Amino acid sequence: MSETVSKQKALENLQKDADNIRYLLKKQRSFLCLTECPAFEEVADTRIYGFTCEVHFAVSCGFLTLANGKKMIRELEDDLDDIRDEAFRGQEGRNE
């Protein structure tokens, strides 16, 4: 194990984790929204909290600025909102 880690690698890992969360929520959205949406909110909130802790740590290490960290979190939140809205619209379409 080397004594330093490149910023590039750390940022790639952070981005990969955000994409995993997007993928997970997208895959589960129909299931989560079939039962009742609070389940989607809970899973999304928990995942965003975990990602926020990762970003907080990455910022404290100097991998990225606080502003860029907040931007990554906001983008993830917006994407998860879109995923939930899509699932909700899809469900409404089926109920008509």
- Cβ closer to its own copies: 30 or 60? 60
- Cα 17–chain centre separation: 8
Residue (of 80, 93, 6) closest to 49 by Cα position: 80
C-alpha 44/C-alpha 50 separation (Å) is 10
Q: Which residue has the tokens 């909700």?
A: 88
7 binds its own copies (CB under 8 A): yes
Residue (of 85, 71, 81) closest to 22 by Cα position: 81
30 binds its own copies (CB under 8 A): no
**Region binding its own copies by CB under 8 A among candidate stretches 22-30, 43-51, 69-77, 85-93:** 43-51
**Region binding its own copies by CB under 8 A among candidate stretches 3-11, 30-38, 72-80, 81-89:** 3-11
Interface residues with its own copies (CB under 8 A)? 1-10, 13-14, 16-17, 46, 49-54, 56-58, 60-63, 65
